[in-house]
Amino acid sequence: MSLCATFRSFIFLCIVLFGQAVFGQYKQTLVNTTVLLENKQKGIPFVGLDQLKIAVLGSDMEKYERFVQVAKLYTEVDSYSFLEYLNSEKKYNMLIVVGSMAELSDASDGLLKRAVEKKINIVFVAFDEVAIVNQRRKDLSSRFALLAQPDAREEGQCHAAMSLFGGAAITQGSNKTEQTRIQQYSSLLNDNAKAMQMLLKIDAVAEEAIHAQATPGMVVLALKDGQVLFNKAYGKHTYSDNEPTKATDIFDLASISKIVATTPIIMRLYDDKLIQLDTPVSHYIPALKNTDKASISLRSVLLHEAGFTPFIPFYRALKVGDLQQEEDEHHLVKVADSAYLRNNYYEDIMWPEMLRSKLGKQGSYLYSDISMYMMKELAEALTHRPIDSYADELLYRPLGMQTTGFKPRERFDKERIVPTQHDTSFRKVLLQGYVHDEGAAMAGGVAGHAGLFASANDLAIYAQMLLNRGAYGGTRYFQPETVDLFTSKQSQTSRRGLGFDRADTTSKSGYPSKKAGASVFGHTGYTGTALWIDPENQLIYIFLSNRVHPQVTNKLFDLNIRSRIQDVIYDFVADF
């Protein structure tokens, strides 16, 4: 270990022992040449992304394709030529107008007049020398903000887009800003021999996994100090088609749903003082009061120490007529393509079976999906909202997580979603955009333990918010103490936090990695996914795959693919 790394570990240990940890230490290494000349209402960087409907306009949008690509990594953005926008009926409240000063001068009076009449804010991004922009800035009236970026090539466009969204701090000129969101471009990789070694090593492990048919494809993403360090897709959607896996693809997260959907809702309820960890869950879920589960505390459920049955194969109890290929008024629960479950199966069969299920010894760690079924029931009872819509309103839309959610086929084209298993025992069809977990599917696709889908970039945003101890993009989502409590070791009998899994420093093989220290928290997913957050090293590691395709295989574990790639990333960041 380098002297720098040793000192960093010592400092982190002191913080853990003697004070509150300070997470989310953005460290910008790139030199951002963007200048913010005007910032009316202090609106740059943008806040409240869920309140903004943004369009990017220019005379030649192909020329500024990279700008739009980067902007779309932060939130939903449409793009038009000036003429296309004037002919569009869509409504926006924020226009980003890009181009050289000559191109911006060509922006018709009609565009500006329309924006003023409809009270639409305009940001001008002038790709020209600062002096030229300053000389002609009066030509651009009714602006919300004005930025100058002297480099119109891809890197300059990337810097300008990141500057608007807080992905890069603006350090030049009188209107300086701070970084508030993840940086989608890292200068740590520029002309760096170690970076090339990292790339080649990760490529080799990924190709090994695909060749061994451990998984048809995967996406690997890593962040260091708020900078995207590595983001690459490998392989194809399946072994039999030619659809290449893309970094923007949407994956079935499986049990990562526990920490990206259910647990954060519980954290919000804790923040709002609507729950107490040592109160019996039956206080919040009355159906438990007359069962052997009446005295179980909320804390023990989140720690998987309630003694719940680990797994109930609900689909094996289906009777003739419960599942059919055609939808009708009695079968409206779509569990896959051409597979419909009878109405209220969860309420009539599954939930009562969970209430009657055998209860084992309490106080010892026994991982059980029933825990998060219970947490979903609790969350919906207290919020009076389904967890899918509540999580979307609480987190996903405000954070700019555009792909994250349950039941993705209702929102995205099938081709954007990576297929999982060819189900031969229950639904008899290839699963694509329908949750792999049978119980979650039978619960309508929305469950506390599984059902969430997302892209790697979305998970990076969420993970950085946790690394920041609850803050992101100028908005606070959780109190820092709440993040510390739920993500730190809370069990006397296991490594677990509250809802969160944590690194096992006693593991001989290294879980989740030989290099992972005691601060690491996150979760894995049955479909071959992983999300790990390392406060000590300011590192986020995301691995998404469909290792269950076409059938479940353990090769991903046997070959230790996820951990080996994580080890390579740790080796690279050791000296930074």
Query: DSSP of 137-183, one letter per residue?
Result: GGGS-S-SEEEE-S--SHHHHHHHHHHHHTSS---BSSS-----S-B
Residue 417 DSSP class: B
Measured CA to CA, the distance from residue 470 to residue 448 in angstroms comes to 21
Query: DSSP of 35-48, one letter per residue?
Result: EEEEEGGG--S---
Closest CA to 460 of 263, 248, 271, 258: 248
For residue 45, the model assigns a pLDDT of 98
Structure tokens at 352: 């009562």
Measured CA to CA, the distance from residue 417 to residue 455 in angstroms comes to 9
Measured CA to CA, the distance from residue 573 to residue 378 in angstroms comes to 41
For residue 14, the model assigns a pLDDT of 41
- Domains of the chain: residue spans and CATH: 35-185 (3.40.50.1700), 251-558+565-573 (3.40.710.10)
Give the pLDDT of the chain (576 residues) as one tens digit per residue: 444 444 344 434 443 433 344 456 798 888 999 999 999 889 999 999 999 999 999 999 999 999 999 999 999 999 999 888 888 878 899 999 999 998 887 665 667 777 777 889 999 999 999 999 998 888 776 678 999 999 999 999 999 999 999 999 999 999 999 999 999 977 667 668 888 999 999 999 999 999 999 999 999 999 999 999 999 999 999 999 889 999 999 999 999 999 999 999 999 999 999 999 999 999 999 999 999 999 999 999 999 999 999 999 999 999 999 999 999 999 999 999 999 999 999 999 999 999 999 999 999 999 999 999 999 999 999 999 999 999 999 999 999 999 999 999 999 999 999 999 999 999 999 999 999 999 999 999 999 999 999 999 999 999 999 999 999 999 999 999 999 999 999 999 999 999 999 999 898 889 999 999 999 999 999 999 999 999 999 999 999 999 999 999 999 999 999 999 999 999 999 876
For residue 289, the model assigns a pLDDT of 96
For residue 141, the model assigns a pLDDT of 67
The pTM of this model reads 0.94
CA dihedral 404, 408, 410, 411 (to 10 degrees): 50
For residue 142, the model assigns a pLDDT of 67
Amino acid at 264: P
For tokens 């790639």, what's the residue? 565
Measured CA to CA, the distance from residue 564 to residue 550 in angstroms comes to 24
